[in-house]
Each structure stands twice: as C-alpha cells, then as structure tokens.
Amino acid sequence: MAFSRGAGFYERGLTVGIDIGGTKVAAGVVNPAGRVLGRARGETPHRSKSPKVVEDTIAGLVEDLRCEFPIQAVGVGAAGFVDEQRARVQFAPHLSWREEPLRDALKTRLGLPVVVENDANASAWAEVCVGAGQAAGEVVVVNLGTGIGGAVIIDGRLQRGRYGLAGEFGHMSVVPGGRRCECGNRGCWEQYASGNAVTREARELAAADSPVAGGLIQAVAGDRSLITGPLVGELAAAGDRACVELLEDAGTWLGIGLANLAAAFDPELFIIGGGVSECGDLLLGPARAAFERNLTGRGYRPVARVVPAALGNEAGMIGAADLARDTLPRWRQGRRQRRLPQPRGRRRSRYGR
C-alpha cells in the first residue's frame, strides 16, 4: 500500500473517500473544501476473491490513514448497483459483491459512520461541489471509461431513483439489434461510445490490415492485443488519421446519447468525465456537433453546454468523502440551514441537496 500526506491534517470535518477501480483501490482524506490531504492505495482484489478480501483492502487503507488523521466518517464509491439506503451493493460486475451488506460490515469493523454510493454518483457530486458544475443546478454527468456511467443532479440534489439505480445511461439502447452488450442486451450506448468501444474498433481495424491502420499496427509492432484506448488517444493527438476518425465516431455516438438525455432531463450542463474524456476536443468536438444535430426541437430551445470534468481521477474519492460527511450531525445540520430558495440563475450553494 502506498501512502502520502499533505499539509493541514489537523483540520476538522475530515472524511475518507474510497474509489474502487478495476485495478486499484484509492483512498483519500478530504476536508470540507474538497481538498485531498492524504492518500493511500492498494490493488483491487480479483473478482474471484471473496467479498471479505475486498473489505480487508478497504479497511486496511482506512486504518493507514487513520493513524495520521482524525477521520470522522468513510464514503465508498462502488461500480455497481447500490440500494436506496446506500448500504448494500446489490451487484458489482467487476467484484464478487452480490447483495453485499458493505456499509454495516465496514461500520462494525472500523467503528465509524459509513456511506456506500455508486461511483458515478460520487464523481458527479464532486464535480458539482468543487469541480466543473459548481455554478449549475441541473446537471447530467456522463463518465466514459470501460463502460458508461452517469448521474443526474437537479436543484442541487442527486437523483438516485426509487431503488437507487438511476444513472445507468450506458445501457440505454441506441441501436436496436446492435452489438451484444455484457449486460445481455443489444445496442447499448456503451458499446459505441466507451473506452472499450474505441479499443474494440481500433483492434478490428488493425486485424483487417486496413491501409489506414498503419500507424496503429506500427505502434504495437503488429500485436493488436496491445492496442488500448489511451494509445488511440495518444496517436490521435499526434495526428494519426485513423485514430482521429475512431474518436470522431465515438464522439458522434456520445452526442447522440446526450441528445436523448437532454430530451429526458433538459439539463443546463453536461459534464463528461472518465478516462476517455481526456482526449479533449478530439472527442468532445464531434460530440457537441452530433448533440446539436440530434437535439429535439433544435433551433427553438437553449442548447446545454457540454464540458469536460475538472477533477480527473480524484472525483470519485472527493465525492464519496463529501457524501460521508452527511452522516455527521454538525455538518448535516449546516447543509440543511443552507437549503434556501434561490432565484433562477443565481449560483447555488454546494450544500444544497
């Protein structure tokens, strides 16, 4: 486990945010202003490992940080279905969690208040609190990674849905009878606009020995299994035309999906996060064009802005830590006192939920 500490560890209201990724578990001590004061990390246990191994990893990171900081609560961002009580992970595709009572298990083990949240919700909350969405009240966040996750925030409140499962945008069907998705359905959005989609398309182009794929093939010395989404992004930034086209295709599908979400939620702002978003305007330029072209009522309605996320890989950690702060009576009361009606267009407080 790696560990680092920043200044200001004596501050009050410190909570830990846990972000569970495909290869690593990142933990950070976060103050009420959203600043990460200390970090620790470990490896994500393989999905074949028992739920207790994952729990051991989380608890170990928290205990490491607890030796140096007066931690008051813990928030866990989990990629999967989290119930409406933010207590149980009902299903996590990359871990062994099935109806896992994670909140109570960690609470008993650590003796601290614990909140479990969907990782996309946690990232979105961080962006609204201290990132790209601070000035907006109606926000849709779309995270492009291995798949596509998302979250909706209306009037400064996370919309979790009746059963806690809102925001699974990646599994909207955009192509009837299209590519088979891991979820079991066909034509899901994430099969066309995610990191996996970019990687798959690039490998298929190389496998076909396409004359436009020379740069890709050369970059991996002919071993197409080495082609990844980040590599496509790097080559596109360097001007490789095939890789530019791959990102244009993904961006176009992204924009089509955003137009569908605009029809459903009518947000003032879309925030695009996740690793694929680091391709910048190579992806977001085509996405904005496709979004405006497919927008219902285009020409007769305001067009929501589409912007990149601001917090990068630490968004999930920061958001989970801030949501955990709601378990503390003093901070929860402070948030309630700030839930005041505000005129349209005025910046909302980060404490309005």
126-175 residue pLDDT tens: 999 999 999 888 999 999 988 898 999 998 889 988 888 899 899 999 99
Residue intervals of the chain classified under CATH 3.30.420.40 are 2-125+313-337, 135-310
**So what's the pLDDT on residue 3?**
47
In the CATH hierarchy, which fold is given to the domain comprising 2-125+313-337? Nucleotidyltransferase; domain 5 (3.30.420)
Reduced to 3 states, what is the DSSP secondary structure of residue 122? helix
**So what's the pLDDT on residue 345?**
45
Whether the Cβ atoms of residue 174 and residue 257 lie closer than 8 Å to each other: yes
Whether the Cβ atoms of residue 74 and residue 324 lie closer than 8 Å to each other: yes
**pLDDT tens string 173-200:** 999 999 999 888 999 999 999 999 999 9
Q: How confident is the model at residue 92 (pLDDT cuts 50, 70, 90)?
A: confident
What CATH class does 135-310 carry?
alpha beta
Q: Is 320 exposed, middle or buried (0-12, 13-18, 19+ CB in 10 A)?
A: buried
**So what's the pLDDT on residue 300?**
93
Phi and psi of 91, rounded to 5°? Answer: -160, 130
* Per-residue pLDDT at 256 exceeds 50: yes
**So what's the pLDDT on residue 135?**
83
The whole-chain average pLDDT of the chain stands at 87
